[in-house]
Amino acid sequence: MQSIFRESIFKMKEIFFVTTNKHKVSEVKAILKPFNIKVTQIDMEYEENHDVSIEKIAKEASKKLADKLQKPVVVEDSGFFFEAYNNFPGALPRFVFNGIGYKGIMKLLKDEKRDTYAKAVVSYCQPGQNPIIFEGVMQGKIAQEVFDEDKDIMPYERIFIPEGYIVTMSKLTREEKNSISHRGKAFRKLAEYLTRKK
């Protein structure tokens, strides 16, 4: 009986992370591993209304997906906010990068303030319940040039220098990156919530 009781206490929690981004999945698995939380990817696209905030995007998507899939779903949406352009591109970093690339981003920021922040919103939702959101922010600036184009990483990691550092995210180890990143901060808040939850 004691062993069964012990197993029930330490039983691994599982979340279903809906994303097509393999880099995010790898990061989140590493972030949540110390909390004994299993991350199962659901590799599927979902509707995103980019006319609203990243908070609303994540909340609406997680609610719909949890009810549809009948699983405890996690959705993460993130953005990059250039202070020189009234926090553009915001919720559209991938769209902007795919459209104008590094050349366009560097041209936009030429002779402008390069202060930027990255924000992640993680929305956790169980079927039939309302979503709970967790946020993380990382301050920094955009570099003057692009680094590590040969690395298989997310695009903005090659040009984003976190506050307190002199190198881009692409130069950091996974452990260093996860310890300071907007995504790491948001997912650790989720982990703390799940581990406190009875």
Residues labelled as active-site residues: 77
Question: Tokens representing 168?
Answer: 């881009």
C-beta of residue 142 within 8 angstroms of C-beta of residue 160? yes
Question: Tokens representing 6?
Answer: 């012990």
C-beta of residue 119 within 8 angstroms of C-beta of residue 81? yes
C-beta of residue 176 within 8 angstroms of C-beta of residue 21? no
Q: What is the 3-state secondary structure (H, E, C) of 148-187?
A: CCCCCCCHHHHCEEECCCCCCHHHCCHHHHHHHCHHHHHH
